[in-house]
Amino acid sequence: MLQSALKTTQNFIAGEFCSGSSQKFFDNLSPVDGSLVSRVAEASEADVDRAVRAAHKALTGTWNTISLGERCDLIRDVANEIGRRFEDFLAAEMADTGKPHSLASVIDIPRGAANFRIFSDIVRYASEHVYHQETADGLGALNYTVRKPKGVIGVISPWNLPLLLMTWKVAPALACGNTVVAKPSEETPSTTALLGEVMNTVGIPAGVFNVVHGFGPGSAGEFLTKHPLVNAITFTGETRTGEAIMKVAATGVRDISSELGGKNASLVFADCDLDKAVAGTVRSAFTNTGQVCLCTERVYVERPIFDEFVGRLKAATEKLRFGPPGEKDTDLGPLISRKHRDKVLSYYRAAVEDGATVVTGGGVPELGDTFGEGAWIQPTIWTGLREDSRVVREEIFGPCCHIQPFDTEEDAVRMANDTQYGLAAVIWTENLGRAHRLAPKMETGIVWVNTWNLRDLRTPFGGAKQSGIGREGGLHSIEFYTETTNICIKN
């Protein structure tokens, strides 16, 4: 079992690591085998206050005096330092999440570095707006905009993609001139703590980036979101938590960006490239053991190819290999915790109780005593459920999908959109006209055609309905992390 270099994971406040005033610690346990990864210092309310005040001081002090070019150079240095310490970040990420080497080494750590690199460039070269205005006296006026940092940003990120999603927020926030107090998930604290070391190494001024560890209500999450010196909050996670944060953010009328849950659908048409559709659905349903907000949990297949699709997806799923994260041929790691596994297994049982046909999976794999205390679970496929079943309606966030046949385009779109969520959708078809016709009809923030999770970091990312508020990515992130002032000069 790979172990994090951080046996004790501390808070990072004003450029220094500290255990915090409460001297309370909690265990960070490996989801692979239940072993202890690290002891994590839980931040008290006083610790969070100190972190926010350190960020506020840096905002109006040292960070404010650095030029845009110098700031963007420092942000790029962060990317380079993550690359230099690639193996440290990889080991920490695998230890916290149990994520396979084949995934974390190709996606999580490289994207963590890339987020700093791309936002350094986007902010450095972002343009402002200029408007020439006619006036009654004929002399005119000139309007132009300037962007200013929004202030202290509270960043709360989830456990499924710890480094990737944390840096997705921290990088544009810092590049835009804000300061940050970050609270990673209590399940995955290690890579965010390592970011503190990186910030010191490259010379980010003390207080610009701070990390507080803990939980939600009555802990660091609540203390951070309700702090009056936090000017905006960005959150990725469960919809109910997002609703609670929105209520707190209303006090002081503070801005919020939230990327929340999903119950994503895939539409598979009879004219698709079936090899690509099956391989793509294996990825979209089971990547990171189904613990990605973009994962597909509902698959709608045109009736003429339904049986063949189900059979081929079953065969491909049963080839996925469980194993330790450090083995490069491991396809599936564990869920994040045994608690989360209990939740997912409750849906597995509910599916059977509602009359589902279990095509494959449905339980816990036999992996021997070595992994007996881990959070392992089988990838699972069902058919035969009603559209009003809990398993079809509610986000499960595990390696599972339900497959339903359809007869017409209208039926497929109607069933796909019949959900409280609206994050992502996938359409598999070789008919370009159909793709262009149906994609705008999907009530989601993202639609992929003949692919899944192909991301250009300049494009908008976010959801509709109960999948969130706001967009991140490229200039869309800059809109959130800055305040725009219009300046009007009369000639």
CA angle 263, 264, 265 (to 5 degrees): 125
Question: From CA 260, how far away is CA 264, in angstroms rounded?
Answer: 12
Backbone dihedral angles phi then psi of residue 454, each to the nearest 5 degrees: -85, 110
**β-pair partners for 446:** 424
Closest CA to 382 of 402, 368, 353, 404: 402
CA 320 to chain CA centroid, Å, is 24
| Residue 215 burial (10 A CB sphere; 0-12, 13-18, 19+) | middle
Q: Which two tokens stand for residue 196?
A: 């503190």
- The single-letter code of the amino acid at 127 is S
Stated as kind and residue range, the H or E segment containing 57 is helix 45-60
Marked catalytic residue, from 259, 297, 302, 472: 259
Cα–Cα distance, 421 to 35 (Å, whole number): 36
72, 293, 400, 401: which is the annotated catalytic residue?
A: 293
**How far is C-alpha 98 from the geometric centre of its chain's CA atoms?**
17
* Known catalytic membership, residue 259: yes
Local structure of 315: helix, strand or coil? helix
Residues sharing a CB contact under 8 Å with residue 113, sequence separation 6 or more, in sequence order: 79, 80, 82, 83, 167
The rounded distance, in Å, linking the Cα atoms of 191 and 6 is 9
Identify whether the C-beta of residue 306 lies closer than 8 Å to the C-beta of residue 405: yes
DSSP 386-426: -TTSHHHHS---SSEEEEEEESSHHHHHHHHH-SSEESEEE
Give the other-Cβ count within 10 Å of 35's Cβ.
13
Let me know if 293 is a catalytic residue.
yes
Q: Are 38 and 6 in contact (CB under 8 A)?
A: yes
Known catalytic residues are 259, 293
